Amino acid sequence: MGRSGRTVLLEHLPRLRRRLKLDFVAVNAENAAGGFGITEGICDALYDAGVDVITTGNHAFDQRDEISLFDQEQRLLRPANFPSDNPGRGAGLFPASGDRHVLVVHLQGQLFMAPTDHPVPALEQELAGVSLGRDVHAILVDMHGEASSEKYSLAHYLDGRVSLVVGTHTHVPTADAQVLPGGTAFQSDLGMCGDYDSVIGMEKTGPVSRFVTRMPGSRLQPASGPGTACGVFVITDDATGLATHIEPIRVGGRLIESQPAPIDQA
């Protein structure tokens, strides 16, 4: 979320990648450019820091001069249930450490969001003919949406078929990280990387004024204080591709920290 989020992520990710011996890193960066969209320069900085794939969401195309990037850059995804003639793609197979491969599918929810196609048909199209543990070592689904009920429903629908379902969009990390009965790891929202002395990442004066007065104001700006980087750490079984462990990550900034133990101590 803005410069604060980029700064804290770029500061901590290389260390986390070494310390936790991460094989694959996905980052949702739809708010990275001043809170609205993403640019080629930001993509390059994230890749250099150790990011393998970037997902987005409803703000994917906010940087109008950068829309062609979605056709040019295979590691940048927009939701798969956007209209088919939109630039880019909503899923991809990506290499991971140790000659492994990870399928990433990016979806957007429908409740309280701008209209999109139903996410399940788009999801099933991307999963067709792909068997977890046989064809790919892991499958990650980013469900970008407002409603936790929608994210939970998708996670239970996919339990045992994918490695991980994570929610993005609400900018607040939820306290429900778990491995579901069928072996799919889940957290209904990862939270944001950004300044939490804010209103979901925006400098708080403007949103508070709108809330109190119900009057429109100037364009919202990302908060610029020290950021917290939020995410999850997941361990999967190489034989099945299913999750054996999920744990929140929160480092830097204002929130209470949560850092998984180094992998050789886990």
Helices and strands of the chain, counted as H and E runs? 6, 10
Give the tokens for residue 50. Answer: 């150790």
Strand arrangement of the beta sheet that strand 178-179 belongs to: 91-96, 100-108, 138-144, 164-168, 185-187, 178-179
Q: What is the CA radius of gyration of the chain?
A: 18
- Partners of 138 in the beta sheet? 102
Rounded Cα distance, 75 and 43, in Å: 9
> What are the catalytic residues?
59
Q: List, as one string, the DSSP characters of 183-244.
A: S-EEES----SB-SSSBTTB-THHHHHHHHH----SPP-B--S--BEEEEEEEE-TTT--EE
**Residue 208 identity:** V
Give the tokens for residue 198. Answer: 């804010």
Q: How far is CA 234 from CA 73, 149, 167, in A?
A: 26, 22, 14
Rounded Cα distance, 167 and 151, in Å: 6
